[in-house]
Chains A and B, each alone.
Chain A
Amino acid sequence: MVEVFVGITAAVLIIGAWELTARAGLIAPQFLPSPSRVMVALWTMLTQQNLLWHVAVSTARVWCAFLIAAAMAIPIGILMSSYRIVGASLEPIVDFIRYLPVPALVPLSIIWFGVGEETKIFLLWLGTFFQLVLLVADDMRRVPQEFVEVARTVGANSRQVMTDVALRSMGPSLMDNLRITLGWCWTYLIIAEIVAADSGIGYVIWAARRFVKTPEVMAGVVVIGLIGLVTDQLLRLLHRRMFRYL
């Protein structure tokens, strides 16, 4: 409770300082609009410019790419840890791609997929899958050998060892990694939407920039932050619910 109070107080103080600085007129408003102007812009965008629809589009893209990445990374990561041959053959490739900056692959992705939804999903997937797969492989590696051996000596087969012991054991860290990777997805989303989109928060921000509507740009950024905050808190809550024993 104290932590929540401290957190809110700190946020209020920072926003207050920002408001004062902006109102003092020391900085031109097209560079630093006051928080109140940003809020007004946000309200206008919500009521007149269909902001919620853009938010929904962006969220759908993020979750679509994230779920595809997770659905692929979890089994492949587990396989990479379980079978040395899979790990040895995939790790160099994964490591190579993992270090490629996503923006560097935008042109290639446009050549491959055009400027439609596929490009955005592909870019987000690219940014998350290769990171996540190594994190999952690591989670799997950290399952204590004793747990696996105990299960085998009480008669579990390989599938049962996987579902009843390995997945249970890696559950908490896997959830953490998914939560963190979901955050990265939002980073890449903005890149994807700035480059090639006519919808989504990234597009809204980029369009506002063109007319130097700084309050709207900031409002877009605030919306992303809020979505991140809410999602993260929800996932943390889910984590606590799922792993009560921690």
Chain B
Amino acid sequence: MTEAYLRFENVTKRFGTVDVVSTTNLSVARGSFVVFLGPSGCGKTTLMRMVGGLDEPTQGRILLDGRQIRKPDRSRGMVFQSYSSFPWATVAQNIAFGMRYRHDIGAADKRERVRTYLDLFGLADFADVYPSRISGGMRQRVAIARTLAAGSEILLMDEPFGALDALTRERLQVELRQIQAREGKTVVFVTHDVEEAVFLADRIILFSKRPATVVADLDINATLGGERPLEIRESQTFFELRNQVLHLIRNVTGYAK
């Protein structure tokens, strides 16, 4: 954690009379893959939405590169659990939408970038197809490609693979790790799935049940290493890490009570 790229300073959030996030302090390094793990409804999504600028902290502030986040902008792209690709636009048009409001890129460059992401996500054959004609996994690829095309430095992902079948999910997890490493993006990934968290994360931040507060901060890279081939899931180290995290969830988050 050399450089505090994204920083939560005494952040709290309450909706009406409900405390959703209690005092949270946290720093995220540039280019790291951070997973927010915690029981469903614990407030981790709210934390992520505040990074996106879609919700405002009740107290405290969130800084990106030293500047306080106030509104949504292109530097932080969101990928949601539900398939958020636009039904009225083709796959290529959906990806291009990420750049729609960028006037610093010419039309030819935009086309070129759409092509790059179509290839990268294996969507080239579906460029002119509408989302209703493709599978859930492909739609989620479209949503991720759109965010990358927008040039977001941080990807905020809210259980993006939650609605996918197990095999598609695994494949997308591997792809996401590869693309993240390749593009050097910072990822904040919200999930309640322990295996998914361990497989993807450089670092897992474990949250308590609501109101969310950090209960553990685990350096996964230290034990699992930065390379994450699919086979790593079958390794002893992975298995032990998974159990360790599960154990923490049961005993520390207050989930079991």
Contacts and interface: CB of A to CB of B under 8 A. Distances in A.
Interface stretch (A70-78, A82-90, A154-162, A221-229): A154-162
Contacts of B52: 149, 153
A243 B132 CA distance: 12
Interface string A146-177: 11011111111000100011001101000000
Nearest to B81: A146
Nearest to A156: B101
A155 B150 contact: yes
B74 A146 contact: no
A144 B98 CA distance: 18
Nearest to B102: A155
Contact of A154 (B89, B100, B156): B100
Given A169-B88, A243-B88, A154 B82 contact: no
Given A153-B152, A154-B146, A144 B88 contact: no
A168 B86 contact: yes
A245 B132 contact: yes
Contacts, number: 68
A152 to B, nearest CB: 4
B152 A147 contact: no
Contact of B82 (A146, A165, A245): A146
A155 B87 contact: no
Interface in B106-142: 130, 132
Contacts of B82: 144, 146
Contacts of B97: 151, 154
Contact of A152 (B72, B98, B132): B72
Shortest Cβ-Cβ A-B pairs, 7 listed:
A155-B101, A245-B130, A146-B84, A152-B72, A154-B150, A155-B74, A146-B80
Contacts of B86: 147, 165, 168-169
28 contacts: A144-B84, A146-B80, A146-B84, A149-B52, A149-B54, A150-B78, A150-B80, A150-B143, A152-B72, A153-B52, A153-B53, A153-B72, A153-B76, A153-B77, A153-B147, A153-B152, A154-B97, A154-B98, A154-B99, A154-B100, A154-B146, A155-B73, A155-B102, A164-B100, A168-B88, A169-B86, A245-B87, A245-B88
